[in-house]
Amino acid sequence: MSQLRPNSYRSGPDERGHFGIFGGRFVAETLMPLILDLEKAYAEAKADPAFHAEMNGYLKNYVGRPSPLYFAERLTEHLGGAKIYLKREELNHTGSHKVNNVLGQLMVARRMGKKRIIAETGAGQHGVATATLCARFGLECFVYMGAVDVERQQPNVIRMEMLGAKVIPVQSGSRTLKDAMNEALRDWVTNVHNTFYCIGTVAGPHPYPMMVRDFQSVIGEETRKQMQETEGRLPDSLVACIGGGSNAMGLFHPFLDDPSVEMFGVEAAGHGLTQLHAASLAGGRPGVLHGNRTYLLMDDDGQIQDAHSISAGLDYPGIGPEHSWLHDVGRVKYLSATDAEALEGFQLLSRLEGIIPALEPAHAIAKVMELAPQRPKDHLMVVNLSGRGDKDVPQVGDILRGKTK
């Protein structure tokens, strides 16, 4: 790949699924024919106006889109700098941005005639969205979830079961999101004939990173339109948290070719970047895992290291390949927030705006607390409030009362 700046930051991936050196299709032969079928089915759906019409109908009446772009007046006053807007993805049905992608993928699955759906989940938000739409479409649903996450995100486990999904606790490895993805891939390779793997983030083999990005881009497209309507111009900066990076990619992608718009992705720094963390761009290097080449946390022998984050949704040692590329070409700036900083963001937003965020976007709020005061008052900053905090109430309650660390 050329080192030159591309004419557009929005033209990737190439036909082999590469964003620069990142991406690709690193999967077992058993899965490869199905992945090629999926690529074809998605290309057909994408070109079919009826597919989009049906999807827009569900987005409006089932998901509740467009999600509001809300001026966070008290947060803005408190921080004393940039004018802060929240993109209210937490108001979507199921409580996060995950539903945008699941809706799209399950509509593709239906076109392919697949009746059995599997998914991995970390915080459980993707699992809940998948379980919800499987209920809506009458599909069988199996969700792989690390045993550690099953423990710390009980409300979502119960929710998935109520929706008729089977939640399978994963006991291998670090028993978090990475291992849930391994187990989902093992299921897929076994049941490839009738199963559709609904991946929750902008990672995995091509075409997943592209497809998930496309389905999430509704976030940025709406933001663009809403900001034009409200302020008569584009935002100056965008801030979003990153595990795999689907909410960030959804917000960023429609703005990548607008040079005036600064973008900040916030990784999870866990206990700090010199200790256990989940910031694969800050602390990792390019490698190959889960079907794609991307930045990964690993040792010198190429063995994947366990990530750590207070937030189950960010607790993953990798990141979507398009983010790795945007990092390398310098279009997006990637920062990180620690567990402690995220908890501060969590509390600040709750108390100032009456909105309890999920621990994942609390990382983005934590960086807004640093970035906004450094910006002038006419600077328009949008932060993606990608999920609501109901699921985290028991965990954060215990931490704040000093019961756990």
For 128-173, give the secondary structure using H, E and C.
HHHHHHHHHHCCEEEEEEEHHHHHHCHHHHHHHHHCCCEEEEECCC
Which of 8/303 has CB closer to another protein? 303
172 counts as binding another protein under rule CB under 8 A:
yes
Residue in 98, 114, 367, 391 annotated catalytic: 98
30 counts as binding another protein under rule CB under 8 A:
yes
Q: Considering the complex, what minimum distance in angstroms separates the CB of residue 130 from another protein?
A: 20
Q: Give bridge partners of residue 383 from the DSSP assignment.
A: 86, 239
Which of 285, 287, 283, 238 has its CA nearest to residue 265? 238
Contact criterion met (CB below 8 Å) for 295 and 271: no
28 counts as binding another protein under rule CB under 8 A:
yes
Cis link prior to 394 (omega < 30° from 0)? Answer: no
Rounded CA-CA distance 174/151 in Å is 13
Q: Give bridge partners of residue 96 from the DSSP assignment.
A: 387
User: Is position 386 annotated as part of the catalytic site?
Assistant: yes
Residue in 120, 183, 262, 353 annotated catalytic: 120
Q: Considering the complex, what minimum distance in angstroms separates the CB of residue 165 from another protein?
A: 22
Q: Considering the complex, what minimum distance in angstroms separates the CB of residue 34 from another protein?
A: 7
Cβ within 8 Å of residue 198, ≥6 positions away: 102, 105, 106, 109, 117, 118, 119, 130
Count residues binding another protein (CB under 8 A).
Answer: 36
Would you give the DSSP letter of residue 279? -
Pick from 193, 401, 403, 405: which binds another protein (CB under 8 A)?
193
191 counts as binding another protein under rule CB under 8 A:
yes
Which of 131/203 has CB closer to another protein? 203
Q: Which stretch binds another protein (CB under 8 A): 27-35, 229-237, 256-264, 371-379?
A: 27-35
* 382: helix, strand or coil: strand
15 counts as binding another protein under rule CB under 8 A:
no
Give the pairing of strands 18-19 and 22-26: antiparallel
Q: Quick one: tokens of 48?
A: 């079919």
User: Is position 225 annotated as part of the catalytic site?
Assistant: no
Site string for another protein, 266-305 (x = CB under 8 A): ---------------------xxxxx----x-x-xxxxx-
Which of 29/378 has CB closer to another protein? 29
Which of 185/348 has CB closer to another protein? 185
Rounded CA-CA distance 281/126 in Å is 23
User: Is position 60 annotated as part of the catalytic site?
Assistant: no
Length of the chain: 405
Which of 21/352 has CB closer to another protein? 21
Q: Considering the complex, what minimum distance in angstroms separates the CB of residue 33 from another protein?
A: 5
Q: Which stretch binds another protein (CB under 8 A): 110-118, 191-199, 274-282, 344-352?
A: 191-199
Would you give the DSSP letter of residue 304? B
Pick from 131, 185, 240, 326: which binds another protein (CB under 8 A)?
185
Pick from 9, 20, 22, 25: which binds another protein (CB under 8 A)?
25
Which of 81, 66, 205, 201 has its CA nearest to residue 130? 201
Residue in 83, 280, 386, 391 annotated catalytic: 386
178 counts as binding another protein under rule CB under 8 A:
yes
Cβ within 8 Å of residue 192, ≥6 positions away: 30, 31, 34
Indicate which residues carry an active-site annotation: 98, 120, 386
Residues within the interface to another protein (CB under 8 A): 16, 24-34, 172-173, 178-179, 182, 185-186, 189-193, 287-291, 296, 298, 300-304
